[in-house]
Structure 1
Amino acid sequence: MDHNQFKALLKLHEIEHEDKWLEQFDSAMKGDGQAIVNIAMLFKEYGQYDEMYDLLDKASEQQNREAMYELGNCYFEELGEKGSEQQAFSLYKRAAQLGHPDAMNNLADMYLNGEGTAVDEQQALNWFKKAAGLGVPEAMFTLGMMYEQGLGTECDESQAFAFYSQSAEQHDVEAMYRIGMIYFSGELGQQQDYEKALEWFLKASEQFHVDATYNIAYCYEYGYGITQDKEKAIRYYKKASLLGDLEATKKVVSYYEMTDAVEASKWREKLLVLNNDIYE
């Protein structure tokens, strides 16, 4: 693709900041590594996969770790029906060895799950630790899970809680929910604390975590860590229902069956749709 063809692509998709993108494209054609990655990601967004692969291959040959990481993602997703887990693994490993934090995390995931390589929990643990040390919240969360379950290491409740906490403080939604559950149930050596549990459920719910949203409703319904409030409970059950939670929808139906026949009918229809989605 030349300069004029790229300009036509920008106009076709009504992409804003044309001058900026044209400047980036020209820099990419001159071999600027970051510009190559930027243009490749634009091609990815608009389904120009052949052009995307060509650019990422070119930048990877220049030992550009960001290009290796993004190319690994493309191969893992098999975009344009190209790539494989083995190729993704190889690219993540090369990028990780060059210090790319997210590539370290993805490489660790592949070792943990046996994707593109044999399962190796010890290698997974080592790479998750490196990624966590560079601030990757997902790696912190997975380390919490590994220490909790004894994967690649001995079970260690204090380490598990510490890594979950680090991840939650970095706003990882699964970690926020997990910390909420730990406090709700009194796990990993922590005292049961419904107020702290609700605090973390609320934070996770802000990021549309369905189970956290359901649990907030449950807390309001039964008064765990908060004064009982049926109306607020139903409000959060509705939110969980809209996120696809079947049990929350049943709660809403039951509530309206006693208070509002029209609303009950509407929510029964939603319950039927969710049931069908589950069993399709």
Structure 2
Amino acid sequence: MEHNQFKTWLKQHEIEHEEKWLERFESAFKGDEQAIVNIALLYKEYGQYDEMYDLLDKASKRQNSEAMYELGNCYFEDLGEKGSEHQAFLLYKSAAQLGHRDAMNNLADMYLNGEGTTVDEQQALRWFKKAAQLGVAEAMFALGMMYEQGLGTECDESQAFAYYSRSAEQQDVEAMYRIGMIYFSGELGQQQDNEKALEWFLKASEQFHVDATFNIGYCYEYGYGVTQDNEKATHYYKKASLLGDLEATKKVLSYYEMTDAAEASKWREKLIVLNNDIYE
């Protein structure tokens, strides 16, 4: 795509900051690898997949790890019907070997799940550790799971809890929820503690984690770690229902069937709609 064509394309799509993108286009034309990646990702956002693949491939051949990682994502997501898990695996591996931390995490995922390659739990553990050392919260969570379940290593409850905790401290929502469940059930060598469980459920709920939100309602309904309060329980069950939770919707309906016939009728209709959506 030539300069004038790109300028016309920007106007057609009403893309803001036209001058900035034109400058990046010129830099990409001159070989600036980061500009090439940026333009490619703009094409990705607007569905220009042929142009996207062309640019990312160009930068990848120059050993640009960010381009390799993004190109791997495109193949994995099957954008433009060019899906190839094996090609994604190879690109993630190349980027990971060049030090790209998110590529390390994705490579580890593919080894763990046997996507684009054979299952290799030891390699998964190795690459998750490398990614975790570089601060990838998802990799820390995965390591917690692997040590808990004995995947690629022996079970180690202490290590599992330590990795889950590190991930939760990095704001990983699944880790926050898992820590909550660990305290709620007294797992991985931790004493059962409803108050700590509720604290972590609340943190996960702030990031719209549906199961954590449901569990807060459950804690208020039965008085786990907090004073029993059916109104607050219903408040959190409503939030979980809005996130698509069927059981939470049933809880709200049950509450209103005892307190407000008109509201019960509304929630009965919502339950029918949600139930239909789930089983369509």
Alignment TM class, shorter chain as reference: over 0.9
Please tell me whether residue 253 in structure 1 is matched to residue 253 in structure 2: yes
Identical residues among aligned pairs (%): 87
Structure 1 residue 277: Cα displacement: 2.0
Q: For this pair of structures, how many residues does the alignment match?
A: 280
Distance in 1 separating the partners of 2:123 and 2:239: 40
Structure 1 residue 21: Cα displacement: 0.7
Aligned to 2:117: 117
Structure 1 residue 75: Cα displacement: 0.3
Structure 1 residue 10: Cα displacement: 1.4
Superposed CA offset, 1:178-200 (max 9, x none): 00000000000000111110110
Distance in 2 separating the partners of 1:4 and 1:232: 59
Distance in 1 separating the partners of 2:225 and 2:276: 35
Superposed CA offset, 1:186-234 (max 9, x none): 0000001111101100000011000000000011111111111111110
Superposed CA offset, 1:241-261 (max 9, x none): 000101100000011111112
Aligned to 2:29: 29
Aligned to 2:217: 217
Aligned to 1:50: 50
Aligned to 1:96: 96
Once the two structures are superposed, the pairs formed by residues 115-264 of structure 1 within 5 Å of their partners are 115-264=115-264
Structure 1 residue 149: Cα displacement: 0.2
Distance in 1 separating the partners of 2:201 and 2:188: 18
Structure 1: gaps (5+ residues) = none
Aligned to 1:38: 38
3-state SS in 2 of match to 1:68: helix
Structure 1 residue 13: Cα displacement: 1.6
Distance in 1 separating the partners of 2:112 and 2:175: 18
Distance in 2 separating the partners of 1:3 and 1:233: 59
Structure 2: gaps (5+ residues) = none
Q: Which amino acid aligns with 2:34?
A: Q
**TM value normalised by structure 2:** 0.99
Structure 1 residue 100: Cα displacement: 0.2
Aligned-pair Cα RMSD in Å: 0.7
Structure 1 residue 278: Cα displacement: 2.2
Distance in 1 separating the partners of 2:71 and 2:150: 32
Distance in 1 separating the partners of 2:30 and 2:199: 52
- Structure 1 residues 112-121 or 256-265, which shifts more? 256-265
Structure 1 residue 83: Cα displacement: 3.4
Superposed CA offset, 1:20-55 (max 9, x none): 111011101111000000000000000000000000
Q: Which amino acid aligns with 1:207?
A: Q
Distance in 2 separating the partners of 1:205 and 1:225: 16
3-state SS in 2 of match to 1:258: helix
Aligned to 1:86: 86
Aligned to 1:65: 65
Distance in 2 separating the partners of 1:263 and 1:10: 49
Distance in 1 separating the partners of 2:175 and 2:9: 41
3-state SS in 1 of match to 2:259: coil
Moved over 3 A (4+): none
Aligned to 1:10: 10
**TM value normalised by structure 1:** 0.99
